[in-house]
Amino acid sequence: MKQRPQRLQIGDTVGIIAPASPLSRERLSLALPMLERLGLRYVLADSVIEGDTHYLAKSDEQRVEEIHAMFKNPEIKAIICARGGYGTGRLLDQLDYPLIEDNPKIFWGYSDITALHTVINEYANLVTFHGDMLGDASRDDFSEASERMFLQLMQPWELHYDETRSPLTTIVGGVARGELTGGNLTLLTSTLGSKYEIDTRGKILVIEDVEESPLHVDRMLNQLRLARKFEGLAGIVVGSFTYSKSLAPQDSTFDAVFNDYFGKLNVPVVKGFNIGHCEPNFAIPLGVDALLNGDAKTLTILPGVE
C-alpha cells in the first residue's frame, strides 16, 4: 500500500510551486484568498512569485530544486501546484524519489501535473491528489463545490460519486476494486516507452483531456492499447473530455471512440465523471483503493490522508 500523507490542520503552511508554466501575478492575487478561507498559511516558490514569461515558469534545474526544497522543509505540510501548462515531463529523470518518499506530504494538482502524479505514486510510494490548482481559484466560474474538494485534505473522507453529481453512462458493466491511477490522457501517452510510463496492472485507470478532437483521443487511446495498458487493468473511469476550440466537431464523437476502445473490454467502464478540465472538478486521491460499480454507476474512493 502507498503512504497516505498526514491531513492538514487549520493554520498549517502549504507550499505553492509552478513545476510547469508560470501563473500571472493578476491570477495569483485573485487565487490566494481561497487559501485564507481554508485557514491555511502559504509560502510561494520563486517560480510563482517571479515566473518567466516563457512557457516554462523557471529552468528545469530551478523547478526541480523547488520541488525538493518543499518536500524537505518540515514546516511545509502540503504542496499545491499553481498551474499546469507544460513542463513537468522534463523533470522526471531529475527528481530525488527517495527524498520524496522519506518526507511524505500532500501533493496536489492536475493536467500537466499528471506526469508527476505517475512517478511520485510509483517511485516514491506516495498518494497524491488530482484536483484544481491554485490558479483555477482565480476563474470567474470557480465554484464553491470545487473549493470544498480541498477539505478532503483536512479529514480522511471517503469520497462517493454517483449520478447526483453528473449523468453517467455505463460502457461495460460489472464491479471492480483497485488502486486509482491516471489523469490527463496526453500526459499519460507522453511517457510511453520510458521507465516513467504508467503501470495500469490491477488498477482503475482515470482519463480526462481538454481541447482535443475525437481523432486525437483515438490516436492516444490506440497508443495505450498498443502499449498493452488495457490488459490486466481493473476498470476505467472516463472523466471530462472537451473539443478543441479550433476544431469543429467531426463525424466521429468521443462516445464513438470510447465505445470502440472500451466496449469489448472485460472490465467495468463508466463515463461522464466531472473529473478534469471542468467545473465543478471532482478532486480525487491517486494511489488509494477505489470501488467502481458499472451496474450501479458509482465510484467510491478511500481517503487520501491519514
Active site residues: 111, 208, 277
Which residue in this structure is represented by grid cell 493536467?
111
Amino acid found at 149: M
| DSSP code of residue 157 | P
Distance CA(9)–CA(271), nearest Å, equals 35
Residue 283 CA to its chain's centroid (Å): 8
Are 188 and 114 spatial neighbours (Cβ–Cβ below 8 Å)?
A: yes
Distance CA(304)–CA(172), nearest Å, equals 27
Indicate the SS3 state at residue 301: strand
Distance CA(95)–CA(81), nearest Å, equals 16
* Residue whose C-alpha is closest to residue 34's, from 172, 163, 142: 142
* Residue whose C-alpha is closest to residue 21's, from 84, 64, 81, 65: 84
Q: How far lies 306's CA from each of 81, 182, 272, in Å? A: 21, 22, 29
Distance CA(264)–CA(287), nearest Å, equals 26
CB neighbour class for 180 (10 Å; exposed up to 12, middle 13-18, buried from 19)? buried
CB neighbour class for 243 (10 Å; exposed up to 12, middle 13-18, buried from 19)? middle
Strand-pairing partners, residue 212, are 243
Which residue in this structure is represented by grid cell 515558469?
57
